[in-house]
Amino acid sequence: MEFALHEAHELSAGALIYPIDRAPEVLRRWRDWMLDAPDAFTTSARLLHVPPLPDIPEPVRGGSFVVIDGAALAAPDVVERELRGLRELGPMMDGFAPVPPVALSRIHMDPEEPVPAEGDHALVGSVDDALLDGLVDLAGTPGETALLMAEIRQLGGAFGRAPEGAGARDRFEGDGLLFATGMVMDEAMGAAVRRDLAAFRDLTFDLRTDHYLNFAEQPEQELHRPEVAARLAQIKANVDPDDVIRSNHPVR
């Protein structure tokens, strides 16, 4: 892997938080915006049920929300202009602001310690109204879903373009990366989470374009498009013919 540092003069990040019953209109407004959003912005939309744990801040502890969060390498006036439509919906909390780079690790409010959970994902070609409605029906009602979170991560833009000299996986095809997860503290919770994840897979099945290995928790027969799998197999044969390098999802 090769990494390059890029100068970043202005960075804004944060979250817009709305009551869960606003999910249909918030998700549609976000979807319509993100399809043509500037490359400088990367965001996600989440249906989030916050557990009532003591170390969680009081304003969100035990609540259910629809959350738009992300970051932008852009000047504050550009961020203000681009987020205007979402802010017009009147979020109950608005944390988007200029931040130092170190703040990026806290935007998504992920647990900082290991948590027993199961999840699944889908790369989808289109984030249409039927998908949004299905996601709200599946994961948007407190007390009726075992999923702690269901989210759509913004793709398109630079994610969808293959740069010159790219590797075997040169782009993500589609508009969104979906991820759903629930806590499995005991077998009863695990059974409920697996039930809802099965419904999540049914919801996204016809829209899937590919898999994303960081979220691949279940054994899959085909993790890559055929042309990507062929390129990876050729690289593997060239650099590791003795199969010294192993992984949970081996390249063959």
Q: How buried is residue 5: exposed, middle or buried, by Cβ count under 10 Å (0-12/13-18/19+)? A: exposed
- Residue 221, pLDDT score: 53
> What sign has the CA pseudo-torsion 20, 23, 25, 29?
positive
Cα separation, 148 vs 113, whole angstroms: 16
Determine the pLDDT at residue 222. Answer: 63
Long-range contacts of 234-239 (CB under 8 A, 24+ apart): 235/168
Q: What is the residue-level pLDDT of the chain in tens, covering all 252 positions? A: 788 888 888 999 999 999 999 999 999 999 999 999 999 999 999 999 998 877 777 888 899 999 999 999 999 999 999 999 999 999 999 999 999 998 998 888 887 788 899 999 999 999 999 999 999 999 999 999 999 999 999 998 888 898 888 888 888 888 999 999 999 999 999 999 999 999 999 999 999 888 888 888 776 656 777 888 888 889 899 999 999 988 777 777
